[in-house]
Structure 1
Amino acid sequence: MKFGDLRQMIDRTARIQICDHVSGDYMDYRFVEDVPHENDSRTVFGIGLVRSEYREEGVLSYGRNCYAIEIRLLEPETILGSKVLEYEAKDKMKALIINCSPVRTGSTAEIAKLVSEQLSNKYSVNSICIDDYSFAFCKGCRLCHNTAKCAMSDANVIEDIMDEFDAADFIVSVSPSYWADIPGQFKAFIDRCTPWCNTHEPHAYIKPGKKGYAIALRTGPNMPECERIIGSIEHFYGHLEIESVGHLGLTSIEYKADVETRKQEIIEFCKII
């Protein structure tokens, strides 16, 4: 389909982002009628929904109207050419693996590593550890309820993590049990995500359509403790409008060596992601 044909089908009030599929360059437009007609002969490679950077009178407002219809275009001569194949890898779906433990070398990290290895066969994978970031506790000032932005001086740290969420199609959180729940460091991160929480307007957004998975592990044999951890993670996903679609509880794991005995179980779980 040519963009000129698609132009006729788009709501006139929708914000538009035109992206060159090969170069990655993009331009935001307030209305579809503002898109130059020189694009009409270009081929539509894909359509999606993205956070809009369009600023009205220099001010970016917050809320649902911060989204735009992204339309990726190709020049007519490249649609069957090698450039499409060359850039297919660039469009590979992305998975974000989060080690929710402050320990970078323990059993949780070992599971996160195994998950990353398994998913790298089909997705572009990015792995992070919550201990990679330093940030303060949420102060509960609620200013973000009115601005959709955190007023604390280290807000950029949380925004960097949320950028990782925004870039991913799948999020896998791997958490150990700290007194029958997620570690305090990860809970502190969740508290700082209040600007993105969907219980108030305005609020910040990540792109929709994401799938969330949770893996919980604990030292003892009590599976309900894992279920409580999974519940905390899935509750967090829900308020970010990430769909929870799978989880795995692993008991009797304390050290890295214990992971080896559950390796096949973890590999099987990765097959559903």
Structure 2
Amino acid sequence: MELRHRRHLDSTGACTICGDGMENWVHMLFECSWTAQVWAGLIYYGFPYRLAHTIPLDSQALDFIAHAPTGLRFALWFLWVERNNRVFGKPSRSPYTIVRDILSFFQWWRETRRRANMFRDGARRDSSSKTVTWNPYCCKGMILHTDGSSMGNPGPSDFGAVLRNHEGAWIEGISGNIGIADNFLAEVVAILEGLNLALARRCTTLTCYSDSQEALRLIQSASVVNHVMGGLLMNIRDRISLIGNVRFFHVWREGNSVADILARRGAKE
């Protein structure tokens, strides 16, 4: 190396691989005839970095390497390791073998980075925020929240419902125990009792929120005659027709907290 020559540790300072030129950073990694074969092979096989106009001066070589794209640094590292192996007498490999190893490692790195980005993007989607509250000002008429719960599923079950005006102000609430049942039956009973509450208040336009997607699906499905809870579901439809204008929406449990509190109160009754 040039530094070894300046310190009188080498007689010529010439390249120990090709014998031509001073063995400085630029020569070792870019200009040596053996290194040039590797770069030519990389470019031939589609390596995405071109060096014709980027070879630095020797005084800038280390800074160039430090700020080079990651893929280019992979190639420089493989060249450096192979050159050290040759200098210290280890079995040498052909430029073609080095090209193959660099491209293989580069493809592995690019695929790993792609998968990591997919995982990161997926995590972002999974952790994205969801609206769990409700907006009273988007509704006309009265607003009904219902909830049912079962301790054991099946087990001791209870229901709760709260009726508000179109601005979200409290009108009336109800809660009660329905004995041993599963969670789904408790949700259906909560909706039925909530509709009864709205009818008692002479409601003609109602927006109903429940955190049971399955109950809402069945209430709005085409036929429930053969369902095990067909009688209850038909009673709910009768209440809907009596009220006149009823819309149902699913709400997350966090946005249904008042009805949930009433349902838990019903367990104590």
TM-score w.r.t. the length of structure 1 is: 0.21
Structure with larger Rg: 2
Which structure is higher in helix share? 2
Which structure is higher in strand share? 1
TM-score w.r.t. the length of structure 2 is: 0.21
